[in-house]
Chains A and B, each alone.
Chain A
Amino acid sequence: MPAKSDLKDLIRRVRRGDHAAAARALSLVVDEDESAASLARDFFKSAGSAQKVGVCGPPGAGKSTLTGRLIGLYRARKIPVGVLAVDPSSSLSGGAFLGDRLRIMAHATDPGVFIRSLASRGMVGGLTHAIFGAVHVLEALGCAKIIVETVGTGQDEVEIASVADTVLYVTTPALGDEIQAMKAGAMEIGDVFVVNKADLAGRDKAVADLRGALGLGRAAGQAPRAWEPPVVAVSALSGEGVEALGRELDAHWAHLERSGERRERLKRQHRAELEFWIQRRVLKTALGRVDEKALKDLLSGKTDPASLGAKLLRKH
């Protein structure tokens, strides 16, 4: 753990836009170093300062390639961009292949772009509990757009919808059957839908299917919504449709602001972050107290799980 004065300096440097400092702060936060709490206290002051765009969808849909395109779009407007790309950890080895950066290397040396790959580290689904803290570091760094990439379909432990302001759901023409069978969860979390690989055959049918599926959801008795999720055909490979996608992302951000929904979403994000914090703490403390002695006491009938559990939770 770094000394207190070093932490202050680290925070100051992050806030000045220093990438080396941000990289170090991210490691401390993600690794749950003892200093993480003091860092988080400061960085949280910046919470809500950026538009967080969650890019999710099935493996290989082109999320990273598209992320690269979005970076290019924002950089043409001189907007500082942060990217957090999450891949699953192997449950066997605990290791991970973090392969998203591979598709974004074109922006590697741009001082206005900061990219960090993260492993899910034991969490079910696409995201890591550390994602919230990592987002705040990038907000403090001054990123006005933060792209969070994850394989996610709406049934995960940490949901992209509880992290992002704007959820961009990426699918492709080749995944036509997947669209048909798309879970209600996925249909509901998307704010903007992309049919990527529009350079391939079947693009118009995929767009129509998706629009149909989204419309059907409404016809089934839901009230009309203030925001109708658009479907945009894009080729992340050629860049076709990326401008139009950028306009939809901006429109959604403006909609959130105008409707007051932005605050509601931020509230939802904070709730998720708080709940995860508590969950982690309980996991690390009370669960760690389940030892041989506890089990012996249960076996001998000296106590019962509910009484013992309550006692372990109280213990400091």
Chain B
Amino acid sequence: MEPKPRRILVAKPGLDGHDRGAKVIVRALRDAGFEVIYTGIRQTPEMIAAAALQEGVDAVGLSLLSGAHMTLFPEIVKLLRKRGLKNLLVFGGGIIPDEDARALRKAGVDRVFGPGTPLQEIVAYLNEKLAVAR
């Protein structure tokens, strides 16, 4: 059978109201063959976790510019795990120092991408990560 498209939830937690960056990613992922669900801005961790569960996604991408990533990202991972999404891939984007990135990785955020990351890199990362397990 032909492979089914992978599904990705792109979410914007926190209070910042700019989602141009998130929308660029959404479009790039769609053009790379993913089915992308976008939640829009200012979503609470609970809303994001519920959406990820109902949508049956293979990965959740969190975009955040406001600097609250150290509290919001781990909280979202925790809620996802609590809902039974134990192996769901979580990645993030934003202005995140290396030190924070390491701590986030420990908290279950597989990878964070800086603001200038080429879209191809994110696509390649997801293709590789989602190629195996389902």
A residues contacting B by CB (< 8 A) are: 19-20, 22-24, 26-27, 31-32, 89-90, 92-99, 101-103, 105, 108-109, 114-117, 119, 121, 284
Contact = CB atoms under 8 A, between A and B. Distances in A.
Contacts, number: 88
Interface in B26-44: 26-27, 29-40, 43-44
A109 B46 CA distance: 7
B97 interface: no
Question: DSSP majority for the B interface?
Answer: mixed
B18 interface: no
A20 B47 contact: no
B1 A26 contact: no
B60 to A, nearest CB: 13
Given A19-B54, A23-B54, A23-B55, A117 B37 contact: yes
B37 A95 contact: no
20 contacts: A20-B84, A22-B54, A26-B56, A93-B32, A95-B30, A95-B36, A96-B35, A96-B36, A97-B36, A101-B37, A101-B38, A102-B38, A103-B40, A105-B47, A108-B51, A116-B55, A116-B56, A117-B37, A119-B5, A119-B35
Nearest to A115: B54
B119 interface: no
B53 A23 contact: yes
Given A23-B55, A102-B39, A94 B46 contact: no
B106 interface: no
A80 B129 CA distance: 36
Interface residues of B, number: 29
B50 interface: yes
B20 interface: no
Contacts of B46: 108-109
A20 B83 contact: yes
Interface of B: 1, 4-5, 26-27, 29-40, 43-44, 46-47, 50-51, 53-56, 83-84
Contacts of A19: 50, 53-54
Given A20-B83, A23-B55, A116-B56, A101 B39 contact: yes
A116 B54 contact: yes
A210 B53 CA distance: 40
B109 to A, nearest CB: 21
A115 B4 CA distance: 20
Contacts of A24: 56
A109 B5 contact: no
Given A26-B56, A119-B35, A97 B30 contact: yes
Contacts of B35: 89, 95-96, 98, 117, 119
B32 A101 contact: no
Contact of B5 (A20, A32, A94): A94
A90 B27 CA distance: 11
A316 B21 CA distance: 51
Nearest to A18: B84
A251 to B, nearest CB: 30
B30 A105 contact: no
Contacts of B43: 105, 108
Given A32-B1, A98-B36, A116-B56, A93 B30 contact: yes
A115 B36 CA distance: 15
Given A23-B55, A90-B31, A102 B40 contact: yes
A189 B77 CA distance: 44
B36 A108 contact: no
B39 to A, nearest CB: 6
B55 A97 contact: no
B119 to A, nearest CB: 13
A94 B39 CA distance: 21
For A93, A101, A115, A117, the residue with the greatest tally of chain B CB atoms inside 10 Å of its CB is A117
Contacts of A93: 30-33
A24 B46 CA distance: 19
A101 B40 CA distance: 9
A22 B35 CA distance: 19
B47 A109 contact: yes
Nearest to B1: A32
Contacts of A121: 5
